[in-house]
Amino acid sequence: MLNRLFPAAASTYAGDVDALYFFLIAVSAFFTILIATLVAVFAVRYRRRHADEVGAGITGSHSLELLWTIIPLGITMVMFFWGASVYFEIYRVPRGAMEIYITGKQWMWKAQHPDGRREINELHVPVGRAVKLIMGSEDVIHSFFVPAFRMKMDVVPGKLTNVWFQATKAGRYHLFCAEYCGTSHSGMIGSIVAMEPADFQAWLAGGAAATEGSPAQQGEKLFADLACNTCHRDDALARGPQLKGAFGHTVQLQDGSTVVMDENYIRESILNPQAKIVAGFQPLMPTYQGVASEEQILQLISYIRSLASVQAPAPAAPPSGQPSPVTK
| Residues 294, 135 contacting (CB under 8 angstroms) | no
Whether 281 and 295 share a structural domain: yes
| Tally of domains in the chain | 2
Cα–Cα nearest to 204, from 318, 120, 119: 119
User: By three-state DSSP, how is residue 316 classified?
Assistant: coil
Same domain, 186 and 98: yes
| Structural domain ending residue among the three candidates 209, 231, 249 | 209
Tens-binned pLDDT, residue by residue, of the chain (328 aa): 556 677 889 999 999 999 999 999 999 999 999 999 999 999 998 888 887 877 777 777 888 889 989 999 999 999 999 999 999 999 899 988 999 999 999 999 999 998 888 899 999 999 999 999 999 999 999 999 999 999 999 999 988 999 999 999 999 999 999 999 999 999 999 999 999 999 998 888 876 555 667 888 888 888 888 888 888 887 777 788 888 888 888 988 888 889 898 888 888 888 888 888 888 888 888 888 888 888 888 889 888 888 877 665 555 444 444 444 433 3
Task: Please report, as a single letter, which amino acid is at residue 296.
Answer: Q
Predicted pLDDT at 212? 67
Question: Domain range for residue 201?
Answer: 1-42+62-209
> For residue 109, which of 123, 91, 121 has the smallest C-alpha distance?
121
Q: Are residues 164 and 233 in the same domain?
A: no
Q: Are residues 10 and 152 in the same domain?
A: yes
Q: What gap in Å lies between CA 90 and CA 34, rounded to an integer?
A: 34
Determine, yes or no, domain membership for 48. Answer: no
CATH number at residue 202: 2.60.40.420
- In a domain? residue 56: no
